[in-house]
């Protein structure tokens, strides 16, 4: 029994390789021309790169696009989507009709590749550099799974991650962050191919970009090769060299001509982001001896890929046989690998959660870390790290299997030192989620979500199971001052569709916030945790903490029958709301208090429940949250009051900062009195 499937792929002849490249080149140009929209330049220039990857290296199977050990290919230059779609057509994922519907409503070939909408697309790309950073996350996930599950005779996980980049990818800072970490970790199975065509939308790249990219990557710990990107044999040799280099990731700088074949536009910015035009396209086809008909595919190219798909299936079947033998020898380990790859959770996992006795004061970042560790003890696929902040965010897993930190060339661990790289950290977390086999998390202070918004947004677009832990969630950061006090960040996160933002009010609500994050499969979760201690509420007096799973719930039932004022609060401000309610009741007022740990979860509840929490008769509504008002307008109604932030905070002890910002019972009572409620 071989240790892993051999790369038994028969390369086409030089003549057929050239024909396949031209098929990709003109399918891409035809698709853009028919849509009258798109980017033909890079696809036409990278056709040989795509040809070599598909015909000599990629191990995939279009009949099983979820195969665990498939190679991953990510198009970081997502604007060149017709290149990927032409590849997916030849591979068997798409039809010719799909290519003809490029950029049309409801087609499987949208303007930029979208994971989940188009079979075979490994990641949604478009923001330049993001695909590269996600690919680094995929490569890290592959190595971590390989270390955890491979045995000396069974290399069950041993695939490569390929990524195609453009000039713009290297200009974006996220690539430097991700490349730095990938080089540090020695991710030898990450192979990046740089389509270096020297052209951007505004003109030659030397207008703004004159650095030596290869030298930069060498300094970051990468193997770097410099080749002619139109020479199939040179491309193949470079990829073979990259595969042979196991201790460093590889960058192949492939010099190409953008829009290759277009007689008047190749090598110019005029072919970057607009159709060739009918005359130029016709001239390009004539100049390269290509039939004039649209979407032409030679029969021998079709025949070749019919055989190629059989080779791919044979490789997967050989891997299936290898896994069957592995399963016989390592039954429990194989069963666990299948489970984590499927995304299913172990049985009875919720029983691992702790319980917190009332009266104990504990910050939710601390209780959240304890909860995460209890869950990590029974969920080995829970893995991640922080941006050099684990002692502050409390997000180091110290329990269960593989509690160590991942280190350069040593991947048997679940904790990752991302370093001060929030931008890359978010994208690599998404890459791990895309790869599968993990429930990945990352952590930083909430104010630094500003560095991560793009990765959270794309996690939502792709419906990824990424978990973003944000601690130090408000002005109660105090002494660090307004640079570190998040004011608009809760509203900013809630504005992203498909994101669930949880802000628990005590340790027991934090349990259910973590449970929801672990369980959720249709989008990312953000956990907003306090720096300051919060008293654990007595749940015999107040509603059960499990009601938090409904998103909003009546936490204090006292005075329900006489309630005339409804107070809503999140996180640490729930305690202030309860104190305000007690003061109002001392004045003879009836008050209902609602804890709102997750607005998005509340919107998913039945209408009857939502009306029960917010009956129309209670029009006097007060919302307390240490953030901006945006997003609360619907809850407040026409006559509601908002106690929050309309400017930045201050530097000083947390309690004094809060008092100056109006987060105190007397100040809120005065505001209610001024409203003449």
Say which residues have a Cβ less than 8 Å from residue 564's Cβ, sequence separation at least 6.
589, 590, 591, 618, 620, 677
Joined together, the tokens standing for residue 8 give 């038994």
Which backbone phi and psi does 305 adopt, to 5 degrees? -75, -20
- Residues in the chain, overall count: 677
Containing H/E element for 674? helix 665-674
Say which residues have a Cβ less than 8 Å from residue 666's Cβ, sequence separation at least 6.
none
Query: Burial code of 297-315, b = ≥16 C-beta within 10 A, e = fewer?
Result: beeebeebbeebbebbeeb
Joined together, the tokens standing for residue 575 give 């305690």
The SS3 of residue 211 is coil
Q: Which among 422, 509, 573, 625 is annotated as catalytic? A: 422
CA-wise closest residue to 401 among 428, 373, 425, 429: 373
**Do residues 298 and 23 lie in contact, with contact meaning Cβ atoms separated by under 8 Å?**
yes
- Separation CA 27–CA 44 (nearest Å): 9
CA-wise closest residue to 235 among 179, 178, 196: 196
Q: How far is CA 492 from CA 453, 519, 627, in A?
A: 9, 24, 10
Neighbours of 504 (CB within 10 A): 30
Query: Burial code of 443-456, b = ≥16 C-beta within 10 A, e = fewer?
Result: bbbbbbbebbbbbb
Which one-letter DSSP state was computed for residue 669? H
Look up 202 and say whether it is catalytic. no
Which residue, chain included where needed, has tokens 């080089």?
A: 183
Dihedral Cα 123, 127, 133, 137, nearest 10 deg: -30
DSSP per-residue string spanning 406-434: PBTTB---SEEE--S-HHHHHHHHHHHHH
Q: How far is CA 70 from CA 7, 50, 140, 317, 358, in A?
A: 12, 17, 15, 12, 50
Burial, 168: exposed, middle or buried (Cβ in 10 Å; 0-12, 13-18, 19+)? buried
Catalytic residues: 422
């Amino acid at each position: 029994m071989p240790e892993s499937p051999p790369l038994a792929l028969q390369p086409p002849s030089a003549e057929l390789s050239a024909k396949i490249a031209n098929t990709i080149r003109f399918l891409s140009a035809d698709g853009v021309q028919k849509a009258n929209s798109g980017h033909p330049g890079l696809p036409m220039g990278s056709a040989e790169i795509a040809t070599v990857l598909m015909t000599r290296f990629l191990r995939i199977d279009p009949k099983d696009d979820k195969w665990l050990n498939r190679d991953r290919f990510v198009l970081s230059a997502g604007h060149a989507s017709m290149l990927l779609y032409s590849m997916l057509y030849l591979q068997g994922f798409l039809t010719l009709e799909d290519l003809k519907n490029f950029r049309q409503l409801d087609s499987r070939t949208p303007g930029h590749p979208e994971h989940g909408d188009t079979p075979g697309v490994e990641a949604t790309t478009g923001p330049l550099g993001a695909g590269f950073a996600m690919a680094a996350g995929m490569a890290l996930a592959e190595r971590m799974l390989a270390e955890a599950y491979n045995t000396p005779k069974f290399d069950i996980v041993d695939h490569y991650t390929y990524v195609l980049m453009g000039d713009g990818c290297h200009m974006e800072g996220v690539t430097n962050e991700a490349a730095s970490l990938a080089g540090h970790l020695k991710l030898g199975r990450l192979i990046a191919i740089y389509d270096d065509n020297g052209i951007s939308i505004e003109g030659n790249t030397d207008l703004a970009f004159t650095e030596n990219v290869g030298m930069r990557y060498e300094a970051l710990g990468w193997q770097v090769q410099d080749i002619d990107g139109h020479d199939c044999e040179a491309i193949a040799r470079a990829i073979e060299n990259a595969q042979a280099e196991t201790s460093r990731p590889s960058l192949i700088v492939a010099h190409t001509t953008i829009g290759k074949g277009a007689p008047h536009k190749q090598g110019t910015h005029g072919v970057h982001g607009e159709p060739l035009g009918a005359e130029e396209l016709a001239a390009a086809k004539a100049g390269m001896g290509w039939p004039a008909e649209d979407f032409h595919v030679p029969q021998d190219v079709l025949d070749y890929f019919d055989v190629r798909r059989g080779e791919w299936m044979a490789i997967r079947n050989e891997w299936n046989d290898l896994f069957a033998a592995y399963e016989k020898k390592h039954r429990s380990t194989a069963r666990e690998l299948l489970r984590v790859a499927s995304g299913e959770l172990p049985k009875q996992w919720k029983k691992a959660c702790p319980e917190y006795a009332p009266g104990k004061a504990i910050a939710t970042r601390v209780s959240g870390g304890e909860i995460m560790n209890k869950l990590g003890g029974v969920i080995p696929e829970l893995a991640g790290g922080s941006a050099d902040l684990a002692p502050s965010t409390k997000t180091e897993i110290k329990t269960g299997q593989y509690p160590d930190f991942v280190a350069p060339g040593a991947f048997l661990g679940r904790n990752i030192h991302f370093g001060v790289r929030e931008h890359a950290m978010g994208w690599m977390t998404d890459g791990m989620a895309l790869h599968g086999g993990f429930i990945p998390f990352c952590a930083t202070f909430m104010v630094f979500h500003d560095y991560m918004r793009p990765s959270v947004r794309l996690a939502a677009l792709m419906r990824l199971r990424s978990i973003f832990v944000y601690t130090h969630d408000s002005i109660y950061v105090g002494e660090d001052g307004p640079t570190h006090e998040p004011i608009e960040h809760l509203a900013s996160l809630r504005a992203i569709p498909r994101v669930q933002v949880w802000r628990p009010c005590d340790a027991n609500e934090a349990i259910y916030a973590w449970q929801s994050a672990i369980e959720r499969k249709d989008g990312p979760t953000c956990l907003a945790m306090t720096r300051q201690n919060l008293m654990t509420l007595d749940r015999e007096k107040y509603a059960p903490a499990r009601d938090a799973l409904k998103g909003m719930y009546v936490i204090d039932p006292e005075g329900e029958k006489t309630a005339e004022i409804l107070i809503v609060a999140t996180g640490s401000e729930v305690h202030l709301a309860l104190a305000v309610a007690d003061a109002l009741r001392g004045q003879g007022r009836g008050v209902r208090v609602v804890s709102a740990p997750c607005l998005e979860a509340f919107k998913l509840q039945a209408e009857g429940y939502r009306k029960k929490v917010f009956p129309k008769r209670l029009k006097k509504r007060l919302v307390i949250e240490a953030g901006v008002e945006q997003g609360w307008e619907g809850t407040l109604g026409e006559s509601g009051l908002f106690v929050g932030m309309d400017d930045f905070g201050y530097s000083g002890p947390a309690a004094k900062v809060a008092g100056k910002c109006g987060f105190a019972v007397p100040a809120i009572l005065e505001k209610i009195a001024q409203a003449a409620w």
